[in-house]
Amino acid sequence: MFSFFKKKKPEAETPAAVEPAVQTPPAADAQPEAAAEQPGFLRRLFGGGEDAPAAPAPAEAPAEAPASVAYEGQLFPETAERPVSEAEAKRSWMSRLKAGLAKTSSNLSLLFVGARIDEDLYEELESALLMSDAGMDATQFLLDNLRRKVKEDKLLDAAAVKVALKGLLVDLLRPLEKPLELGRHEPLVMMIAGVNGAGKTTTIGKLAKHMQRHEQSVLLAAGDTFRAAAREQLMVWGQRNNVTVISQQSGDPAAVAFDAVQSGKARGVDVVMVDTAGRLPTQLHLMEELKKIKRVIGKGMEDAPHEVLLVIDGNTGQNALAQVKAFDDALQLTGLVITKLDGTAKGGILAAIARTRPVPVYFIGVGEKLEDLQPFSADEFAEALLG
Ligand SMILES: Nc1nc2c(ncn2[C@@H]2O[C@H](COP(=O)(O)OP(=O)(O)O)[C@@H](O)[C@H]2O)c(=O)[nH]1
Ligand SMILES: [Mg+2]
């Protein structure tokens, strides 16, 4: 398993064009050379932010976030921090992933127990793959290749066929594997979209905490302006976790996003994440609103947003594929996060995505705790399904 994020090596390069009006000189006490000497350390051009010149506020955006009201919501249950060895963490992640995909995994594995390699086996495999949400196309693709491999390699026992299927699944899923690379832009601006309840806000909270552990300063935009509770939930969470949240009382999400990008630049933060309200791809006016948010982010910073993520509930079945297509058509997604692979999720949807619309899967989630969100690895996923 690769590390949680990929970090761009600090190097003397010309940063992508930054709006001169808000470019902030390094603070007097900033020591970029010292930072550059430390491998893995991210270059920070900008100082602490308090003394940074204020960015020009967009006409429609209030300068400061309103005071939040007390709201006891949590983005995810806080877990007691306990140092765990890397091996221990990996073992427990694999066991959670396996538990999440247990249904599909046992459906598939049972087929191979003492089985003869005949048409019946292929037919049962077809049913099991379809039931796992892999969809017609990926199922056919896997089975065609499996038949060929069994013939070419003259495989005679079921265990060897299972290993061959696992290899084919890894090959199919591999193109989805891509680490999220930090440090490419200052700030790196990420926009997060998805249907209601997919896990957008929770994922943002988890990512923010993981990023902080990777020495990244984070700023959030409470772009779910539909529900006051959503905004307050994010703000209270931000206060607790020392993460600045940009929010507005009244709701133009594009203005909030713009404000957050400006503020992120002025404060010299490493990552800006823009939350958005949930919406269905069939709600065309809401999809237009998303496009507008993306456009307006681009007005705040050239080439931003650098990442456009779609969060998908892993239990959505084949509808997840429709979501990927629709959001990708509207926003040109750069990555996916697939949550809730711990419930009744069957896992095959990743194979369907790989065949139909291979948008990289940055992270998968198997629960509500911080460490339940991890980078996607094709090997681990195939191991959990066919190990
Ligand atoms: N079991 C499980 N629950 C999750 C996971 N990710 C998010 N959730 C829960 O899903 C619910 C909706 O999440 P939320 O982030 O508010 O969704 P949003 O509407 O997309 O912002 C919350 O109760 C989360 O705790 C996951 O990986 N597994
Ligand atoms: Mg939300």
Q: Tell me the pLDDT of the chain (387 aa) as tens digits.
A: 458 898 886 655 444 433 333 333 333 333 333 333 333 323 322 223 333 334 444 444 444 444 333 334 467 666 555 667 888 888 899 999 999 999 999 999 999 999 999 999 999 999 999 999 999 999 999 999 999 999 999 999 999 999 999 999 999 999 999 999 999 999 999 999 999 999 999 999 999 999 999 999 999 999 998 888 888 889 888 988 889 999 987 779 999 999 999 999 999 999 999 999 999 999 999 999 999 999 999 999 999 999 999 999 999 999 999 999 999 999 999 999 999 999 889 999 999 999 999 999 999 999 999 999 999 999 999 999 998
Please indicate whether residue 252, judged by its CB atom, sits closer than 6 Å to ligand 1. Answer: no
Ligand 1 and 199: CB distance under 6 A: yes
β-bridge pairing 271-274 and 244-246 = unpaired
Residue 200 Cβ inside 6 Å of ligand 1? The answer reads yes
Dist CA 282 CA 125 (whole Å): 34
Distance, in Å, from the CA atom of 42 to the CA atom of 12, rounded to the nearest integer, reads 12
Residue 278 Cβ < 6 Å to ligand 1: yes
Q: What is the residue with the minimal CA distance to atom 10 of ligand 1?
A: 199
Distance 72 CA to ligand 2 centre (A): 15
What ligand is nearest to the CA atom of residue 364? 1
Spatial contact of 162 and 112, defined as CB atoms under 8 Å apart: yes
For each of the domains in the chain, give its residue range(s) and CATH number, in order of start: 68-76+86-387 (3.40.50.300)
The minimum-distance atom of ligand 1 relative to the CA of 314 is 27
Cβ–Cβ under 8 Å, residues 268 and 46: yes
Q: How many CA atoms lie within 13 A of 2 on its CB side?
A: 14
Q: Is 10 in the pocket of ligand 1 (CB under 6 A)?
A: no
Which residue's C-alpha comes closest to atom 12 of ligand 1? 197
Q: Is 310 exposed, middle or buried (0-12, 13-18, 19+ CB in 10 A)?
A: buried
* Ligand 1 neighbourhood includes 32 CB (under 6 angstroms): no
Residue with tokens 């943002």: 204
Please write down the HEC assignment for all residues of the chain: CCCCCEECCCCCCCCCCCCHHHCCCCCCCCCHHHHHHCCCCCCCCCCCCCCCCCCCCCCCCCCCCCCCCCCCCCCCCCCCCCCCCHHHHHHHHHHHHHHHCHHHHHHHHHHHCCCCCCHHHHHHHHHHHHHCCCHHHHHHHHHHHHHHHHHHCCCCCHHHHHHHHHHHHHHHHHHHECCCEECCCCCEEEEEECCCCCCHHHHHHHHHHHHHHCCCCEEEECCCCCCHHHHHHHHHHHHHCCCEEECCCCCCHHHHHHHHHHHHHHHCCCEEEECCCCCCCCCHHHHHHHHHHHHHHHHHCCCCCCEEEEEEECCCCCHHHHHHHHHHHHHCCCEEEEECCCCCCCCCHHHHHHHHCCCCEEEEECCCCHHHEEECCHHHHHHHHHC
Question: Does the Cβ of 344 fall within 6 Å of ligand 1?
Answer: no
Counting Cα atoms < 13 Å in the Cβ hemisphere of 198 gives: 29
**Protein residues placing their CB within 5 Å of the ion ligand 2:** 200-201, 224
314 lines ligand 1 (CB under 6 A): no
Which of 195, 202, 220 for a ligand 1 pocket mutation test, highest count of atoms within 8 Å of Cβ?
202
* d(C-alpha 341, C-alpha 89), whole Å: 18
Q: Which of 191, 368, 373 to mutate to test the pocket of ligand 1 (most atoms within 8 A of CB)?
A: 368
Q: Is 100 in the pocket of ligand 1 (CB under 6 A)?
A: no
